[in-house]
Amino acid sequence: MNPLGIYIHIPYCLHKCGYCDFNSHPESREESEIYVSALLSEIKHYAHKLGRLTVPTVFFGGGTPTLLPPASLDKILGNIKLNFHLNEDCEISIEANPATIKQETLKQIRSSGFNRISIGVQSFDLDELKLLERVHDIEEIHSTVDRARLAGFDNLSLDLMSGLPGQLPEKWHSHLQQALDKKPEHISAYGLTIEPATSFFKLQERGLLTLPPEETQLEMFQVTIDTLQSAGYEQYEISNFSRPGFECKHNLNYWDNGEYLGLGAGASSYLDGERFKNINLPSRYIREVQVKGSAVESTEKLEPMHAMGETIMLGLRRLKGIPIEEFEKRFQVSFKNVYGKVIDPLLNEGLITFNQNQMALSRKGLFIADSVILKFLA
């Protein structure tokens, strides 16, 4: 079996942000203790089933993983190390919310082995943070980054969000500048999207929340690329930028449609051509793991056409695009035979670049990436 990335989902948050459609639930001290025990059982279950596989990346996401006590995070990571073979240079990331993390916690998680931290900043404007229903303030952003550095994190990422209601490109530019002042190794800059079942969706339906017009959103995307590139960051994925050598390896594996094992409530896995997903609700996840050792809710075997479509959908998000030869070897097909009819019009419109080795979005295609990708899924 190939090396695989491990994802650990910690589903608790202090407060549900207005735009959030992740699997996050109100913090519960009592439940989270049992949740950690369930995670340990699930780790053991898969180690037994899959063998002691080589693991190049581990990612603790959420939710808010830093709501767990450092001792619990240490226990979970320790169990992964015990049951799998982590590469010597294994990238071990943790997501952190500025409102939840103390200096002592940062020191402890760094010494447990976490070597990359991703801090959910979103905005440097207090009104915008309130609008997003984030629970941190500006001071907490600065202190969290400074404390993370003091704790020894030399691979640090900041998450920012553009296209907020009423936001102008100048304001967005100032957020990027303030993020750059913190000298992070990596920046993720996503545009706000309104997802069903969020409180933002309901507000939008009632006409109480309006996103900036599409041209303004595109202008902000252009500002992102120009500002970060001229500061020496490489855009290696549509919304992700890094200093050379600091791309997020864990996410690169997703975009390469590589294999991964997701543990915890709602986590998804992709193994042996099969996609499977755990039960979302933490209490149900816990019960299921206690009885069966795992908590899979749905499984899907990907048909070749589906798997190829997904590989293109994910691969085109990377700026370097899709390696054609690798794709053909993996799926035993001629790329041109399968996708020739899709490629030609996109080439004529200048939306993609294509040669024997690589297919990628052009600069023009980057701005309408979703609609270009859709053509390959039709």
Q: Is 22 in the site for ligand SF4 (CB under 6 A)?
A: yes
Helix, strand and coil in the chain, % to nearest 5: 45, 25, 30
Task: State which of residues 97, 105, 235, 240 lies at the interface with ligand SF4 (CB under 6 A).
Answer: 97
DSSP secondary structure letters along 210-258: -PPPHHHHHHHHHHHHHHHHHTT-EEEETTEEESTT-S-HHHHHHHTT-
Q: How many residues bind ligand SF4 (CB under 6 A)?
A: 11
Nearest by Cα to 138 from 94, 168, 181: 181
| Centroid of chain to Cα 327 | 23
Q: Which of 5, 56, 62, 315 binds ligand SF4 (CB under 6 A)?
A: 62
Which of 38, 42, 56, 63 binds ligand SF4 (CB under 6 A)? It is: 63
Q: Which of residues 117-146 bind ligand SF4 (CB under 6 A)?
A: 120
Q: Verify binding: residue 161, ligand SF4, rule CB under 6 A.
A: no
Closest by CA position to 89, among listed 115, 62, 127: 115
Residue 201 contacts ligand SF4 per CB under 6 A? no
- Would you give the distance in Å from CA 186 to the centre of its chain? 13
CB of 280 to ligand SF4, least distance (A): 13
Residue 65 binding ligand SF4, by CB under 6 A: no
Residue of 13, 164, 308, 372 interacting with ligand SF4 (CB under 6 A): 13
The CB-of-269 to ligand SF4 minimum distance in angstroms stands at: 20
Q: Is 191 in the site for ligand SF4 (CB under 6 A)?
A: no
Angle at CA of residue 215, ends 209 and 218, nearest 5°:
95
Q: Which is nearer to ligand SF4, 48 or 130 (CB)?
A: 130
As a whole number of angstroms, the distance between CA 74 and CA 102 comes to 16
Contact positions toward ligand SF4, by CB under 6 A? 13, 16-17, 20, 22, 24, 62-64, 97, 120
